[in-house]
Amino acid sequence: MTAHPALFKPLTLGEITLPNRIAMAPLTRNRAAAGNVPGPLTALYYTQRASVGLIISEATQISPMGQGYIATPGIHSAEQIAGWRTVTQSVHDAGGHMFLQLWHVGRISHTSLLPDGQAPVAPSAIRAASKTFTTNGFVDVSMPRALSIAEIEQTVADYRQAALNAIAAGFDGVEVHSANGYLIDQFLRDSSNQRSDAYGGSIENRTRFLREVVAAVSEAIGAQRVGVRFSPVSGFNDISDSAPQALFEAAVAQMQAIGIAYVHVIEGQTGGERDTAFDYAALRSHFKGVWMVNNGYDANMAETAIASGRADMVAIGRPLIANPDWLARIAHNAALNPLDQATMYGGDARGYTDYPVLGQ
C-alpha cells in the first residue's frame, strides 16, 4: 500500500473524473518553436507526465499583445492551435487530462516582444520594478500604457476566443491566470490599478475585469471547464495590495457565483516562503467547487492537505520537471531526481525530456 493513499483517490472535476489528486502546475519553459508554436518535444514533455490527475499547461498567451517572454506558446493562431492539438492528443492517448492556462502578461513585457514595438498595456501607466526574458537575456520591463475601455472589452473578447481555441485544440478545459502580477492580477491590486473609472477604485470595480473575463470564458465553453488561479499575497512581478484578504475573498465569491470548476491558490510568495498570516480557510469558505493548493508542497504535505480536507487537489511544480514519474516514485518511496536549474528556461531536450524514470 502506498504511504500516501489520499493522493491516489479519484476526483470529479467538472465533467471529468481524475484518477488522483495531483495536478502538474503551470511551468514556463521557454521552448516554443517559431511563431510561438508548441512542437513535438513539447508533446513528449507533457505526455511523460500524463500520470498526474490533471496537467495544467505552461502559461499561454491569448494574443500577440499578451506575450511577455521569448519562446512562450500562444493559442491565437491556426498554427498554435494545431501544435497544441498534437500535444493534447498524445496526453489523452496516455490516459491524461489537460487544461490550458490562459495568459496575458499586461505590463510584464518589453517593446521588443510586442507587435510593431508597441508599449505593453496595463490597467494604469505604472511601470513594474521587474524584469523579463528577451533575446538579449533578462531586461527591465518597458513602460506600459493604460488600456482604454474599448481595449478592455477587446481583451475580454480575446480571452473568450482563446478559450474556444483551446477546446478546438483538444484541451479538457482552461485555467484563467489571475496571479503572479500579470494582467488580471494588475487590475485586482490597488498598487497597480489606479484607474478612476468603472475598473478602478473599489474592490467591486477592481474585480470587474476578472468577472468579465471569467464570465465570457465560461459562457463560451461551459463554467465546469474553467478554473482560475490566484496568488493573494505574492509580491512576484512587483505586485501588492493594501487589503488582500478582503480583495481575494470577494474575488473567490464571484467565482462561486459564476460556477467555475476549481480555484487554484498559491499560498505565500510564488516559489518562495509560505504564508501563515493570510486566512486561506476563510478564502475557501466562499467556494464550493474543487480547491487546489500550490507552493512548495512535497508528498507528505500534500497527503496531509488532502486527508484533512483542507484541499481537494495539490499542484506540484518543479519536482515534476525533474521527475516525470513523480507519482510512481512517491508510491514506492523512491528517491527523487534533482532539478537541473541551468536548463529551466530555454534550450532543447536536455533538462526537458531526458530526466530518467524508475527502472532506467
**Secondary structure of residue 48 in the 3-state scheme:** coil
Whole-structure pTM value: 0.97
Cβ–Cβ under 8 Å, residues 55 and 10: no
For residue 313, the one-letter residue type is M
Fold of the CATH domain 5-343: TIM Barrel (3.20.20)
Taking the C-alpha atoms of residue 21 and residue 326, their distance in angstroms, rounded to an integer, is 13
Q: Which is catalytic among the residues 45, 46, 182, 280?
A: 182
* Residue 182: active-site member: yes
**Is 255 in contact with 217 (CB distance < 8 Å)?**
no
Q: Map out the domains of the chain as residue ranges.
A: 5-343
pLDDT per residue rounded down to tens, the chain (360 residues): 578 999 999 999 999 999 999 999 999 999 999 999 999 999 999 999 999 999 999 999 999 999 999 999 999 999 999 999 999 999 999 999 999 999 999 999 999 999 999 999 999 999 999 999 999 888 999 999 999 999 999 999 999 999 999 999 999 999 999 999 999 999 999 999 999 999 999 999 999 999 999 999 999 999 999 999 999 999 999 999 999 999 999 999 999 999 999 999 999 888 777 767 899 999 999 999 999 999 999 999 999 999 999 999 999 999 999 999 999 999 999 999 999 999 999 999 999 999 999 987
Count H helices and E strands in the chain, helices first: 11, 14
Query: Three-state DSSP class for 33?
Result: strand
